[in-house]
Amino acid sequence: MKKIVVLFLFLLSFNSFSQSYLILDDGVTLSFDVNGYVYDLGHYTPLNRLTAKGGQFLVEDTNVLVTVDENGLLHRKYEILPKKFISKGMNYFINEKDELFTIDQMGMIHLYEEQEKLKGMNKFGGNYIFTENDEFHFINKNGEMITQLLEGIKTNDILILGGQYFMTVRGGVFTVSRDGKIVDHQQERIGVIAKKGGNFFIDSFGILYTIAQDGSLKIPMLPQGLNTTSIIKLGANYLIDSEGRLFTVDLEGQVWERWTDYDLRSVRVTSLK
């Protein structure tokens, strides 16, 4: 197995969807851990069998669930999966019966038991769901759902949904912390969200914002040569530019350039939902 990074770090996860993957046009599958390190562990995904994907999972032929754990390891499991998803996020999916399945930090799948709480689901973010009655449902790193009532905003006010953040019709930005707390950034001058990642976004001014695990919104120092206008592919915690350069976002919102032995301009599938 080829190890792309110099040091393989197995650290505990605080965030439920900073782990992710990408698939090249020849099926080679690279994975990312929660700290933004990228690995080539010899995984292959037949693109003609790919039927669904989310931030930290993908489905082959409706019965093979492939998940990424907090350390960037991929796991294949034979599961009885729905043939159709009506919605999906970074660490959950919902079938045609409105049943919610969540995925924890170790890549295990869970069926949410209290389905009656999900009536009126109408807006779906990375690791959260809104309902018509202004409830906010957050799926944590253990695959558990935490419910709270929205304060100061209404579900109908929400216009743009991303991984760890959302924007209202008035242009206000809110982020979601590792423990499901909604953090208000309405007082900050931010353009319309134009490009969406999991723990980052690029606004209409071309500014890259990242979200740390505590929900703080940052304008990070960028690696030399990173130009947001040249970004062509986005994943849960990574960006790829038109030259095939790879950049990742870690748990604290810092941006790093990473290197692989592949031409990443040939990426066919990213980990965004």
Q: State the pLDDT confidence band at 13, using cuts at 50, 70 and 90.
A: very low
The residue ranking higher by pLDDT, 245 or 114, is 245
- Write down the pLDDT at residue 12: 33
In a domain, 242, yes or no: yes
Q: Which residue range is the domain that position 124 belongs to? A: 20-270
In a domain, 27, yes or no: yes
95's CB contacts (< 8 A; 6+ apart) are 82, 84, 85, 86, 101
Average pLDDT, the chain: 88
Tell me the per-residue pLDDT of 135-177, one tens digit each, with 9 for 90 and over: 999 999 899 999 999 988 999 999 999 999 999 999 999 999 9
The residues that bridge with 38 in the sheet, in sequence order, are 32
Q: How many domains does the chain have?
A: 1
In a domain, 177, yes or no: yes
- Residue 30 class from Cβ within 10 Å (0-12 exposed, 13-18 middle, 19+ buried)? buried
Tell me the per-residue pLDDT of 30-56, one tens digit each, with 9 for 90 and over: 999 888 899 999 999 999 998 888 888
In a domain, 178, yes or no: yes
In a domain, 5, yes or no: no
Tell me the per-residue pLDDT of 201-228, one tens digit each, with 9 for 90 and over: 999 999 999 999 999 999 999 999 999 9
- Write down the pLDDT at residue 7: 34
In a domain, 181, yes or no: yes
